Structure 1
């Protein structure tokens, strides 16, 4: 009787993890150097730059694969923990800000489409998907079923996120948010872990949230599903568990390298024009976000820094993680990004049909 062979299903997953290790180590090295240098958002930006530059040089780096989904769930649980029982009234009071954010999003999308179609010369489908200000994962999946140029769509979104993340620290510094270098004060802070009871609450939030996100077909279900469940548990006071700083740092590294490797296989010389167009578009959208944030601050009195992160066009996991890492009202920021992405995903098919009829 022949010996049974080990199941093959697990080996590809192990091979993918092993292939990702060099990328992860590069991200940790970049994050560690940025942390040592005292740079703002060190683990996120350090890991992002450490992988972006080699990718643009032509190096192919492997992504985290399914590990990114797990990290998104962790971030979702962390974002939900930013809610508290005393915030129930604040959520209702965000209505004006949410409405102003949706108006700003419409302005961003209209400008992005015009710029991509008329200035950059992309097709209608490519311009719509590349110009949508948020939801890069869902947008890419939807673009696969259209005639859009997936390389331009992906490159535009990746460049936008890169530009926004690099611009956030100096912008927040100008706004007076001076705690950009926040870090645990001691080794004990890094080594702190929640109790087993709290860990059970956090893990339960993540698992239940993933199931809820899939059931409700939420955009970016692995992020927003756990965020909703965790927020409900924290708002009702059932738990006050928080994720430790070390886990937050690792999450930042994996999200950072996920941005950086998006430029893999795109040599700088071959995509210089598309990169330039994407960077110009991102800069223009950032100006709209700044104007929207200032308007929200004046009308509602909310923090300019929080309003800015809430209105930045795209990168919900990245921007929500920035808000969480810097303590800039992550509940406020996350709520705005969730509403933005949900609205964009609902409107996307309608907008595509309308533009096809008008411009074909």
Structure 2
């Protein structure tokens, strides 16, 4: 372990604890990311164990999968009348954002597309990095989106009378579930990787555990210290992109992030109204959270904190992320042709 790695982890845990103490949702992920990013921008060489990051994503993917309650297939597929609106939301939000980011802010096609897609922060940043997108710009735009979502959800929680939006207190209960979490995570990861599905370390464990948990095959419990460790690892890994970057040099990305959030919020409101008009017996907060353009990890934690129907919310989030990930090969092929045409 180098001293830079030790410093990075100490800073990450300190940032996570500060937000946890203030009862902020996703405290360990956001706190470690913000603290380590700030340290990197001041000149500290932020480092982590590169080989640990895929395992951290496995843990988070398996954790989201445990959010499914046991349901029958008929109950699971009863969401079809709201799920069919998810592709409409994706098309509207992505196309409007992509055009704004390329025409107004002059982003390259790959950076604009992975900034425009309403996927999760971890998935979009890591996948975008693999195809050559600007990681710093992606991170800022998606980080702003997550922060606004967290603040908005906190205000919603206070509005409906929920005072504590903090994750469950760290404890050493359920440590016996660690091996099965890691084994299922590894199996799901390798299955998705063999099928050439992007973001396999996250999507594979999530789908596998969700299927087993959702249909009552097994019942897993979370070991919160492992979850905290995974969030801090991912937060530090993302923060590495900010080493040596000045605030003034990223001003355009901040403005683009605000514009992106406004566009997605308008698309979200439009689609949420369509859902509410179609199925009026679903609480409006639950609809909004199900369609929010954040990562499934963040939204699952918020749904848990707000005491909503977690199966409904996570189903829509997984469906949205799955549509994005499965459409990535076509999107990347189109972007390459577009880049060649413009070049």
Q: TM-score range by the shorter chain?
A: 0.7 to 0.9
Query: What stretches of structure 1 of length at least 5 have no aligned partner?
Result: 1-13
Contiguous gaps of at least 5 residues in structure 2? none
Shift of 1:201: 3.1
Which residue number corresponds to residue 136 of structure 1? 124
Correspondence for 2:30 among 36, 45, 66: 45
* Gap change, CA 1:254 and 1:292, over 3 Å in 2: farther
**TM-score (normalised: structure 1):** 0.78
**Could you report, residue by residue, the CA deviation over 1:227-248 in whole angstroms, capped at 9, with x for unpaired residues?**
2222232234332121222323
Alpha-carbon distance between aligned partners in 2 of 1:177 and 1:355, rounded to the nearest angstrom: 48
Corresponding position of 1:241:
220
> Which of the residues 177, 201, 221 maps onto 2:200?
221
**What is the CA–CA distance in structure 2 between the aligned matches of 1:257 and 1:329, rounded to whole Å?**
31
CA gap of 1:355–1:332, structure 2 versus 1, over 3 A, is: farther
- Supply the distance in 2 between the matched residues of 1:174 and 1:91 (Cα, whole angstroms): 30
Structure 1 pair 40–230 and aligned structure 2 pair: CA distance change class (3 A): closer
- Displacement, 1:79? 1.8
What CA distance in whole angstroms lies between the structure 2 residues aligned with 1:333 and 1:100?
A: 14
Indicate if the aligned counterparts of 2:11 and 2:36 stay in contact, CA closer than 8 A: yes
Say yes or no: does 1:206 pair with 2:158: no
Alignment map for 1:95-134 (pairs within 5 Å): 95-134=80-119
Q: 1:37 to 1:150 in 2, by over 3 A?
A: closer
Matched, 1:181 2:181: no
Measure the CA separation in 2 of the matches of 1:58 and 1:297.
Answer: 49
CA-based RMSD of the aligned residues comes to 3.3
Contact 1:105 1:313 (8 Å CA) reproduced: no
TM-score (norm 2): 0.81
For 1:82 and 1:341, how far apart are their aligned partners in 2? 16
* Partner Cα distance (1:150, 1:256) in 2: 14
1:264 and 1:87 map into 2 onto residues whose CA distance is: 49
| Secondary structure in structure 2 of the residue aligned to 1:191 | coil
Contact 1:155 1:275 in 2 (8 A): yes
d(CA) in 1 for partners of 2:24 and 2:144? Answer: 21
2:262 is aligned to 283
1:348-359 correspondence runs (5 A): 348-349=331-332, 351-352=334-335
Q: SS at the partner of 2:71?
A: helix
Q: Distance in 1 between matches of 2:258 and 2:61?
A: 29
